[in-house]
Amino acid sequence: MKKLKAGILGATGVVGQQFVRILSNHPYFEVTAVTGSTKSSGKTYNDASDWSFTNFLPEEVNNLIVLDTDAKALLRNDIDLVFSALPASVAYDLENQLASAGVPVFSNASAHRMKESVPILIPEINPSHLNLVSSQLYDGGFIVTNSNCSTSGLVFGLKPLMDFGIEDVVVTTYQAVSGAGRNGVGSMDILGNVIPYITNEETKIVQETKRILGKNENGKIVPASFDVNASCARVPVLNGHLESVVVQLESEFSVDQIIETYNSFRGEPQTLGLPTAPTKPIIVKQEPDRPQPTRDLSLHVGDLGMAVKIGRVRKHKNRLNFFLLVHNAIRGAAGASVLNAEFARAKGMLE
CA distances from 226 to 193, 211, 214, 222, 337 (A): 33, 11, 10, 12, 27
* Contact characters 53-72, its own copies, x per CB under 8 A: --xx----------------
Tell me which stretch binds its own copies (CB under 8 A): 2-10, 78-86, 93-101, 286-294. 286-294
Binding to its own copies by residue 182, rule CB under 8 A? yes
Tell me which stretch binds its own copies (CB under 8 A): 30-38, 67-75, 238-246, 250-258. 238-246
Using the rule CB under 8 A, which residue among 6, 9, 14, 122 binds its own copies? 14
Binding to its own copies by residue 288, rule CB under 8 A? yes
Binding to its own copies by residue 250, rule CB under 8 A? no
Catalytic: 241? yes
Distance, CA of 139 to CA of 101 (rounded, Å)? 6
Tell me which stretch binds its own copies (CB under 8 A): 59-67, 73-81, 126-134, 235-243. 235-243
Closest CA to 283 of 233, 331, 215: 331
Catalytic: 300? no
Using the rule CB under 8 A, which residue among 2, 38, 52, 348 binds its own copies? 52
Cβ neighbours of residue 108 under 8 Å, at least 6 residues apart? 15, 83, 84, 85, 145, 146, 333, 334, 336, 337
Distance, CA of 64 to CA of 10 (rounded, Å)? 14
Q: How far is the CB of 70 from its own copies (least distance, A)?
A: 26
Half-sphere exposure of 230 (CA within 13 A, CB side): 25
Q: How far is the CB of 103 from its own copies (least distance, A)?
A: 31
Catalytic residue (choose from 129, 149, 232, 327): 149
Q: What is the 3-state secondary structure (H, E, C) of 53-91?
A: HHHHCCHHHHCCECEECCHHHHHCCCCCEEEECCCHHHH
Using the rule CB under 8 A, which residue among 77, 229, 257, 271 binds its own copies? 229
* Contact characters 292-331, its own copies, x per CB under 8 A: xxxx---xxxx--------xx---xx-x-x-x--------
Closest CA to 329 of 262, 240, 244, 268: 240
Q: How far is the CB of 33 from its own copies (least distance, A)?
A: 25
Radius of gyration over alpha carbons of the chain, in Å?
Answer: 19
Using the rule CB under 8 A, which residue among 104, 127, 267, 291 binds its own copies? 291
Distance, CA of 231 to CA of 198 (rounded, Å)? 9
**How many residues are recorded in the chain?**
351
Tell me which stretch binds its own copies (CB under 8 A): 1-9, 34-42, 50-58, 135-143. 50-58
Binding to its own copies by residue 263, rule CB under 8 A? no
Sign for the CA dihedral angle at 211, 157, 205, 103 comes to: negative
Binding to its own copies by residue 289, rule CB under 8 A? yes
The sheet with strand 29-36 has its strands ordered as 67-68, 29-36, 4-9, 81-84, 104-107, 142-145
* Contact characters 67-106, its own copies, x per CB under 8 A: ----------------------------------------
Active site (catalytic) residues: 149, 241
The residues binding its own copies (CB under 8 A) are 14, 50, 52, 55-56, 170, 172, 174, 177-178, 182-197, 227, 229, 231, 233, 235-238, 242, 244, 246, 287-295, 299-302, 311-312, 316-317, 319, 321, 323
